[in-house]
Structure 1
Amino acid sequence: MNAFADAIQFAQSHEVPWPRDPHAAPLPGQVPFGVHHGDPAPWNVLRGPVHMRGGVSGVVLQRGVEVAAWGAPDRADQTFSVAKTYLALLAGVANARGLLPDVDEPVVARVPGIGFDSAHNRSITWAHLLEQTSEWEGTCFGLPDTVDRYRTVSHDPRPPAGVKGDARPLHTPGTYWEYNDVRINQLSLALLHLFRQPLPEAFLHTILQPLGGGEGFRWEGYDDAWTEIVDASGTKRRVQSVPGGTHWGGGVSISARDQARIAEWMRSGGRHREQQIVSTQWLDRMTEPCAIAPFYGWLTWLNRDGHNFPGASTQASFMIGAGGHYVWIEPAHDAVVVVRWLDSAHAPGFIERIAAALSKH
Structure 2
Amino acid sequence: MKYLVTGAAGFIGFHLTKRLCTQGHDVVGIDNLNDYYDVNLKLARLAELDKFTVKNTTNDKGVFRFIKLDLTEREGIATLFADEKFDRVIHLAAQAGVRYSIENPMAYADSNLIGHLTILEGCRNNNVEHLIYASSSSVYGLNNKTPFSTSDSVDHPVSLYAATKKSNELMAHSYSHLYDIPTTGLRFFTVYGSWGRPDMAPYIFTKKILDGDTIDINNNGDMWRDFTHVDDIVEGIVRIADVLPVRDPLWKVESGSAAASSAPYAIYNIGHGSPINLMGFVKAIEDELGVEAEKNFREMQAGDVYQTYAEVNDLFAATGYKSQVTVQQGVAEFINWYREFYQK
Structure 1 or 2: larger helix share?
A: 2
With normalisation by structure 2, the TM-score equals 0.25
With normalisation by structure 1, the TM-score equals 0.24
By relative contact order (CA 8 Å, sep 6+), the higher-ranking structure is 1
